[in-house]
Amino acid sequence: MQEFPKHPFRTHGGAPVPHHKNTWNAPSAVLPPPERVIIPMQQHIGAPCKPTVKKGDHVYVGQVVGDNDAFVCAPIHASVSGTVNSITKVLLTGGQMTEAVIIDSDGQMEPDPSIAPPPPIKSKKELADAARKAGLVGLGGAGFPAHVKLNVPDGKNIDTLIINVAECEPYVTSDHREALENGKNVLDGIYKVKEILDVHRVLIAVEDNKPDVIQKLTEIADDPQKDPKDEVRVLALKSRYPQGAEKVLVQACTGRKVAPGQLPADVGCLVMNIASVSFLASFMRTGMPLTLKRVTIDGSAIKNPQNVIVPIGTPIKDVVEFCGGYKSEPRKILMGGPMMGIAITSDELPILKQNNAILAFDAREAQQYETTACIRCGRCVAACPMELMPTKLEKATEKKDVEALQELDIMTCMECGCCAFSCPAGRRLVQAIRLGKSYVRKAGKK
């Protein structure tokens, strides 16, 4: 039997980013049904879905509107009831075009009549099948289909389940509110996954800047009505970005290091986001697939920052209007946190399954400073949690030296931004590394 660590293990690098957790103590608000939703067919890592409805069709909440037979894919469901306005194409934040189903809401939010609670889930296959049917993907931002992660390959012995509540990005508090508002649901999901996967140790990993979450989840986990042999514990982690990154989290919780090219399952761990495990419990109880998402709306340009529960596919501008609109002209809008989020060109884009925040900043906070020459201080190397050498990666990218980029393990970089945050010269290191990765991928295709 695995013992529980009394303290987190030390990890390399990281950055002391400011917290700016402005919305942590405000209960989540619920957005009224929007007039229209835009449902892209690419809301996960893997193959995009194909529309299963056509213009003029009436759809219900929870009805499948997109799917694909590919293994690494998750079905997509209508988040409102109404009429399919059109099947069109939209440009996603990553620069790729994808099909999208446009639905005009009837305001009724009628659930699909065929939805019913799934039969009792007792096997690993049934759990993975349920996650796929629910359309569940990693809700912490990665968007990896949950059924793929839960479909643990034969020969992989999972002895530790890690629930990620670190939420280390500045501003973002959607997982914080999930823990406070749905703590019992979270624990129900944890115990169900633990039982089915036969995992004997569960660590709920929370950064120590969330004492209320630690207290809440500890109280529920230590419920005297539960079997005292239940091995579920809350582990308080040092508050240091990027503590919530999967590989960093595994090392902090267990001391095991996930090598380049490996997954947590290779070292006996399964990592799930708190919102993902909470939703899984809800799906087992109701049968309603993933149609809603809690999103943090914040930033210096937002009038009333708050967490909002919205139908997936709602245009960002509608959610911002619900929060009082912009109090100043937004110079930059981010989908996600300020460290790893993607800047978007329009607030007409929709909320996706894996969105956990929309941040809008005014001109002062969005100001970019001129870069200066590298002074070879080594701060980027010290900050890199993957123990890479960002300055050398930048140089190799400038030279388009694919061989050097591969030798420097560029594909190991998780683009957390610690290097750029720590750089006194303001070097655009993450952008350079992303470009370098594209050179390596192109060379691989050739």
Q: What is the CATH number of the domain that holds 276?
A: 3.40.50.11540
Residue 234 lies in a domain: yes
Residue at which a domain ends, from 286, 320, 354 = 286
Side-chain half-sphere CA neighbours of 206 within 13 A: 24
Please report the pLDDT score of residue 2 as a whole number: 66
pLDDT of residue 228: 53
Same domain, 265 and 141: yes
In this structure, the answer to whether residues 394 and 260 fall within a common structural domain is no
Q: Name the domain boundary from 234, 258, 286.
A: 286
**Integer Cα distance of 12 and 249 in angstroms:** 11
- Whether residues 130 and 258 fall in one domain: yes
Residue 58 forms part of a structural domain: no
β-pairing verdict for 58-59 and 64-67: unpaired
- Given the DSSP bridges, would you call strands 332-335 and 64-67 parallel, antiparallel or unpaired? unpaired
The pLDDT, as a whole number, for residue 39 is 97
User: Which pLDDT score is estimated for 227?
Assistant: 54
Whether the Cβ atoms of residue 340 and residue 385 lie closer than 8 Å to each other: no
Q: Which one, of 101, 100, 107, lies nearest residue 80 by Cα?
A: 107
Residues 153 and 267 in one domain: yes
Same domain, 400 and 257: no
b/e sequence 347-380, b meaning 16+ C-beta within 10 Å: bebbbbbbbbbbbbbbeeebeeeeeeebeeeebb
Mean pLDDT per 10-residue section of the chain, whose length is 446 residues: 77 94 96 97 93 97 97 96 96 86 97 94 93 92 87 87 95 96 93 92 95 92 59 92 95 94 92 95 96 97 98 98 97 95 93 95 90 95 96 97 96 96 96 96 82
Q: Tell me the C-alpha distance between 74 and 88, whole Å.
A: 20
- Backbone phi, then psi, for 169, in 5-degree steps? -65, 140
Q: How many domains does the chain have?
A: 2
Q: Note whether 262 and 161 are same-domain residues.
A: yes
| Residue 151 lies in domain | 124-286
Residue 230, SS3?
coil
The pTM assigned to this predicted structure is 0.94
Residue 278 belongs to a domain:
yes
- Same domain assignment for residues 279 and 406: no
Contact 356, 174 (CB under 8 A): yes
Domain boundary among 244, 262, 286: 286
